[in-house]
Homo-oligomer: A and B are copies of this chain.
Amino acid sequence: MTQSFLSDLLTRVAAVGRVISPSADRTPLADLCHALVTGRGEATSLALARTILDRIKRLDAAEKKAFLLELQNRFGPDPKAVEKALAAYRDAPNGVALRALNRATEPVSQELIRRLNRAPGGTADLVALRADLLTMLKDAPELEALDADFRHLFTSWFNRGFLELRQIDWSTSAEVLEKIIAYEAVHEIRGWEDLRRRVAAPDRRLYAFFHPALRGDPLIFVEVALTAAIPGAIGGILAEERPHMAPEDATTAVFYSISNCQEGLRGISFGNFLIKQVVEELRREFETLTTFVTLSPVPGLRRWAESAAAKKDGGLTPAQKTLVANLATGAGTPTDPALAGLAARYLTDPDDSAGRVARDPVARFHLGNGARLERIHLGADDSPRGMSASWGVMVNYLYDLATIERNHEAFATRGEIIASPAVQKLARAGAK
């Protein structure tokens, strides 16, 4: 890439506005990135950023991977600046030198991503690009460093302070609603009528977080049922025909589905903020609400139990091994009370093998938020997915504002899994 060539190119980019010039199309993408990040072409930086993002979209999988690798390798920290900053720190190892070292070691790729973000629609394109990167990570773990750049910037950009909570209902645009249908990951929404039951019934609510740069595209949403009691099965909540209740009469808000929408934002956590703000909203609107609780799947129960049953020292009791075997052959039923004990053990025994407090990912999320494992329900989800993941077992996690902080503390610092006495009793019984 000669400087004059690119300079001419950019001049043309500027002159034609957003239209991509043919020569911009022939220049290697990484050269365009270099032009963007070295600040040549300030004047046209938006058009150039747009051009690069459009080019990236048209790459096939192999080309995209090659491009991302080049990005990571070519746009790392500047070695000379690093050496200089290291020398200065060696001479005077103080805070100022450390911060200078921090600046010197910042990969150029971060500045590049920031400049790409300036383009109209840039944020959405970058989130999509990271989604692609995440799918490549398994085969190309060396891209982890570049992913860290994305994660670092996205954590900053998608700060809770920049998110907006919106209630989604029947006055919401079709544009947004069809995204909700598409993104629901836990209990599939079967078309517009099913959606209407979840957002327009008087005793249903749906709340989502949005980011201003992703207008109309939610980040995460939670579905809420207002009920008279803690529910023990998902069927009644999703039923097509069911009596509605006046929301003013409800005592309980049930978070029965939480869906992350943006694959490219994996690892950037909003869920705990969402639940807590929705609790606040609901308390303000309905003073009669006293109980805030989830109705959650137990996605890892069956796999764990079958694996433990197959091992000699998997920790199951002989009765539990029999239970698992019978469930597999159909000789046992998923309403066998012993299954509750097995689930209680799965959820409350620490997962020493992996060095994690709790085995179940959903449990880790809610316990980490300070919720308490409240109840275990058999036959609560007879959908194929529910049966295959947990023989239909579902659980409630209770969000009790008075203890949420103490629970979180106990879980985070001392690895305590907070469960109700009833669940503890089940777990003890299951261990015998």
Q: Are B155 and A156 in contact (CB under 8 A)?
A: no
Q: Are B43 and A369 in contact (CB under 8 A)?
A: yes
Q: Are B114 and A145 in contact (CB under 8 A)?
A: no
* B residues near A13, Cβ cutoff 8 Å: 405
Which A55-105 residues have C-beta < 8 A from chain B? Answer: 72-73, 76-77, 82, 86, 95-96, 98-99, 101-103, 105
Q: Are B412 and A11 in contact (CB under 8 A)?
A: no
Instruction: Tell me the count of chain A residues lying within 8 A, CB to CB, of chain B.
Output: 82
* B residues near A40, Cβ cutoff 8 Å: 409, 412-413
Q: Are B76 and A99 in contact (CB under 8 A)?
A: yes
* Chain A positions 394 through 424: 1 when the CB is less than 8 Å from some CB of chain B, otherwise 0: 0000000110111011001100000000000
Cβ-closest chain B residue relative to A17: B280
Q: Are B42 and A368 in contact (CB under 8 A)?
A: yes
Cβ-closest chain B residue relative to A122: B161
* Chain A positions 343 through 365: 1 when the CB is less than 8 Å from some CB of chain B, otherwise 0: 00000000000000000000000
How far apart are the CA atoms of A41 and B216 in the complex, in Å? 32
* B residues near A162, Cβ cutoff 8 Å: 117, 123, 157, 162, 212-213
Cβ-closest chain B residue relative to A153: B156
Q: Does A286 contact B (CB under 8 A)?
A: no
Q: Does A316 contact B (CB under 8 A)?
A: no
Q: Shortest CB–CB separation between residue A305 and chain B, in angstroms? A: 31
How far apart are the CA atoms of A160 and B96 in the complex, in Å? 29
Q: Does A224 contact B (CB under 8 A)?
A: no
* B residues near A369, Cβ cutoff 8 Å: 42-43
Q: Shortest CB–CB separation between residue A82 and chain B, in angstroms? A: 6
How far apart are the CA atoms of A371 and B102 in the complex, in Å? 35
Q: Are A404 and B14 in contact (CB under 8 A)?
A: yes
How far apart are the CA atoms of A162 and B156 in the complex, in Å? 13
Q: Are B82 and A159 in contact (CB under 8 A)?
A: no
How far apart are the CA atoms of A171 and B117 in the complex, in Å? 25
Q: Which residue of the partner chain, among B122, B157, B402, contacts A156 with CB atoms under 8 Å?
A: B157
Total copies of the chain: 4
Q: Does A311 contact B (CB under 8 A)?
A: no
Q: Are B171 and A173 in contact (CB under 8 A)?
A: yes
How far apart are the CA atoms of A368 and B40 in the complex, in Å? 11
* Chain A positions 164 through 205: 1 when the CB is less than 8 Å from some CB of chain B, otherwise 0: 100000111111011000000000000110001000000000
Cβ-closest chain B residue relative to A73: B95
Q: Which of A46, A160, A370 has the most CB of B within 10 A?
A: A160
Q: Are A174 and B161 in contact (CB under 8 A)?
A: no
Q: Are B160 and A43 in contact (CB under 8 A)?
A: no
Which A1-39 residues have C-beta < 8 A from chain B? Answer: 3, 7, 10-11, 13-15, 17, 39
Known: A118-B161, A172-B174, A174-B172. A148 touches B404 (CB 8 A): no
Q: Does A382 contact B (CB under 8 A)?
A: no
* B residues near A86, Cβ cutoff 8 Å: 86
Q: Which residue of the partner chain, among B46, B156, B368, contacts A160 with CB atoms under 8 Å?
A: B46
Q: Shortest CB–CB separation between residue A387 and chain B, in angstroms? A: 30
How far apart are the CA atoms of A114 and B154 in the complex, in Å? 12
* B residues near A406, Cβ cutoff 8 Å: 7, 11
Q: Which residue of the partner chain, among B42, B171, B174, contacts A192 with CB atoms under 8 Å?
A: B174
Q: Shortest CB–CB separation between residue A81 and chain B, in angstroms? A: 11
Q: Does A44 contact B (CB under 8 A)?
A: yes
> 30 A-B pairs, CB-CB below 8 angstroms?
A7-B405, A14-B405, A15-B402, A17-B280, A40-B412, A43-B369, A46-B160, A46-B276, A76-B98, A77-B99, A86-B86, A99-B145, A99-B148, A101-B101, A102-B105, A102-B106, A105-B105, A117-B160, A118-B160, A119-B161, A120-B161, A122-B161, A156-B156, A157-B159, A157-B162, A161-B213, A171-B175, A173-B173, A174-B174, A178-B192
The 4 closest A-B pairs by CB, nearest first: A212-B212, A102-B105, A118-B160, A117-B161
